[in-house]
Amino acid sequence: MTEHSRTHRRGRRVRRVAAVLALSAAIVGGATACNVQPGAAAFVASDRITQSQVNDVFQTVIDGYHNQVPTDQYGSIRRSVAATMVMHDLVKRVAHDEGVTIPPANYAQLAQETNLPESNPYVRLEAETQAAVNTLRNAANDTPPREQDLRDVYDSLVRQGLQASYAEIRTQLVAQQSVAKAASLRGTFTAAIKKYKVDVNPRYGALAYPLTAVQAGQIRGYLPVQLGKGSPDVVTVVNQNAIAS
């Protein structure tokens, strides 16, 4: 293989991984109500996540891909980092409230999926967040999802290219136990977001974190929990393969 071919394949791989990392969908709607201080990215209770902290972790992602990430993806990646940092803080509080012990994170698996080193700060944050979310979801009550939960999953599948109607796949969604558990967990997080007064800087829009992956044929969607105060401008976080189904 020539050096040109190796460089081309490496660049293509970085673009593919970066696109997965920055997976996002925008929905037209109103603005975020937010009272964050200058220099703050978000608040979770009294914890202040600064824009500088978000930018530092973001830069480790860009550096980890040797600056081969297309610049038009920078904004989405930065928002994904911000959402992971907010969720990393919030999920620890929810686990404590629920009396759930979180197992060690699988840094190696996420490093392999993202092509970033295990020591990368983003990998550490995201792997720990996933470990907590997956554990909390598995411990959640298995109650029937609300129609809105099913609609939100369907909408995420449509954004990924699903052509079927809602009526065609609704029964399939209802039958997936992970959807019911994630819907129950979303209610828990929605209450926690109010309890801990999660607030996100308007520059990031409202951020959303996927609580479970949902498969419909070859297409994967999510049931997200929205972080912040109700803006419908959603950025869905990270790696399509990283949330256990």
pLDDT of residue 136: 95
Q: Check: CB of residue 174 under 8 Å from CB of residue 214.
A: no
User: Is 103 among the domain residues?
Assistant: yes
Helix/strand/coil for 192: helix
pTM, to two decimals: 0.80
Residue 239 has pLDDT above 50, yes or no: no
Chain centre to alpha carbon of residue 73: 16
Give Cα separations from 160 to 83, 156, 166, 232 (angstroms): 20, 7, 14, 18
Could you read off the pLDDT of 198-217 as tens digits, one per residue?
988 888 876 888 998 888 88
User: Is 241 among the domain residues?
Assistant: no
Give the pair of three-digit tokens for residue 242: 């990283």
User: Is 175 among the domain residues?
Assistant: yes
Give the pair of three-digit tokens for residue 215: 């498969």
Rounded CA-CA distance 85/73 in Å is: 19
Could you read off the pLDDT of 48-69 as tens digits, one per residue?
999 999 999 999 999 999 988 8
Rounded CA-CA distance 61/75 in Å is: 12
User: Is 144 among the domain residues?
Assistant: yes
Helix/strand/coil for 144: coil
Q: Which residue range forms the structural domain that includes residue 146?
A: 3-236
Residue 234 has pLDDT above 70, yes or no: no
The number of folded domains in the chain is: 1
User: Is 36 among the domain residues?
Assistant: yes
Residue 197 backbone zone (phi > 0: left; psi -120 to 50: alpha; other: beta): left
Q: Check: CB of residue 70 under 8 Å from CB of residue 111.
A: no
User: Is 109 among the domain residues?
Assistant: yes
Sign, Cα dihedral of 143, 136, 18, 207:
positive
Could you read off the pLDDT of 125-148 as tens digits, one per residue?
999 999 999 999 999 988 889 999
